[in-house]
Amino acid sequence: MKTVRVEASAPYDVVIGRGILDRAGEFIPARGAKIAAVVSDDTVFSLYGQRVVRSLESTGLRVVSFTFPHGERSKNGKTFLEILEFFASRSLCRSDIAIALGGGVVGDITGFAAASYLRGIKYAQIPTTLLSAVDSSVGGKCAIDLEAGKNLAGAFHQPAAVVCDPDALDTLTPEVFSEGCAEALKYGIITSPELFSHINEKGKGFDREYVISECISIKADIVRRDEFDLGERALLNLGHTFGHGVERASGFSISHGAAVAIGTATVARGAGKLGLCEKGTAAAIVSALERLSLPVACPAPLDPDAVFDAMTHDKKRRGDETTVVIPEKIGKCRLVPMSKEKLYELMRAGV
């Protein structure tokens, strides 16, 4: 078992260990809470809900649970309000705790509901996808999507704990597991050649406990220095500017992880062609993504200009400029503010 401390404004531990789902209650600091409200999606709750409920009950908590249909389409204002109404109907008070059991959608919407209900209650994250284990469950960013774009309403609200059982990833489809691999590889590209090499060499058979704890340690360092995303934290958006455009232009038929893979490959190829990265960097990134069974180009029906239009809705834009994460070499990325014209040139060079 490994523990990574996240020294954010409200510090907490991320505990990573095989089989710890059954001991989740031990690792969640719920002092003062009488009720734990488990929020999950229908798929995850049917797989793991009862184990988590039992573990929480064994610590003396009364457990209530709310589930919603799985998938990105649920990450909206309607589900958000339903969760808040559920908390109110079960009389949760300020000292009670919400538990997000699931992937990125569950973690994001539960975190935002916890940040909003009674102006903020505690919550813990129990990630059950690789993507949420290595990225979204840690760092306190939580949000819902609006009609105008992804993650446009949200908050920074750090969890009280993150409990991650790598065995929970056994039930993921190969596609969903691959999507998380794109996020894991991202940490290698931005700061760690060793992590990149490990994932590249082992492919999808990488050491899960090692990879998850490395990714979380890297993220914890970045969050400690830039919790509120005013600078360096933007490095975690490698591939996301273009990726969010792909997701949106595809009507969300392309998943977040697959879109991030396409976005990462596109920015790497573009940076290579425009001479912004070391020779061989783009090829290494594209081949590592392919080895993880991830897409590296927009599927034919998607028009790059439509993707570009969708990208301009990305909230990472500041005024007329968009900050793009450029991989200079494996283990080193740079934030580059780009005008719309420059961004278009990069995208055209990379598709």
Catalog residues that contact ligand GLY under the rule CB under 6 A: 135-136, 139, 141, 229, 233, 236
Beta carbon of residue 132, minimum distance to ligand GLY (angstroms, whole number): 10
Beta carbon of residue 289, minimum distance to ligand GLY (angstroms, whole number): 18
User: Of 92 and 160, which CB lies nearer to ligand GLY in the complex structure?
Assistant: 160
User: Of 33 and 215, which CB lies nearer to ligand GLY in the complex structure?
Assistant: 215
Beta carbon of residue 135, minimum distance to ligand GLY (angstroms, whole number): 5
Based on DSSP, count helices (H) and strands (E) in the chain, helices before strands: 14, 12
Beta carbon of residue 114, minimum distance to ligand GLY (angstroms, whole number): 17
Beta carbon of residue 141, minimum distance to ligand GLY (angstroms, whole number): 5
User: Of 236 and 282, which CB lies nearer to ligand GLY in the complex structure?
Assistant: 236
Torsion, CA 17, CA 19, CA 23, CA 27, rounded to 10? 10
Beta carbon of residue 329, minimum distance to ligand GLY (angstroms, whole number): 22
Name the closest residue to ligand GLY (Cβ): 236
Burial 176-204 (b: 16+ CB within 10 A, else e): bbbbbbbbbbbbbbbbbeebbebbbeeee
166: helix, strand or coil: helix
User: Of 41 and 108, which CB lies nearer to ligand GLY in the complex structure?
Assistant: 108
Residue 123 contacts residue 98 (beta carbons within 8 Å): yes
Q: Which residues contact 46 (CB under 8 A, 6 or more apart)?
A: none
- Give CA separation, 14 vs 36, 133, 221, in Å: 19, 10, 13
- Please count the other Cβ atoms lying within 10 Å of the Cβ belonging to residue 249: 23
Beta carbon of residue 237, minimum distance to ligand GLY (angstroms, whole number): 6
- Give CA separation, 264 vs 26, 244, 246, 289, 335, in Å: 38, 11, 11, 9, 14
Exposed/middle/buried for 151, CB within 10 Å: 0-12, 13-18, 19+? middle
- Please count the other Cβ atoms lying within 10 Å of the Cβ belonging to residue 328: 15
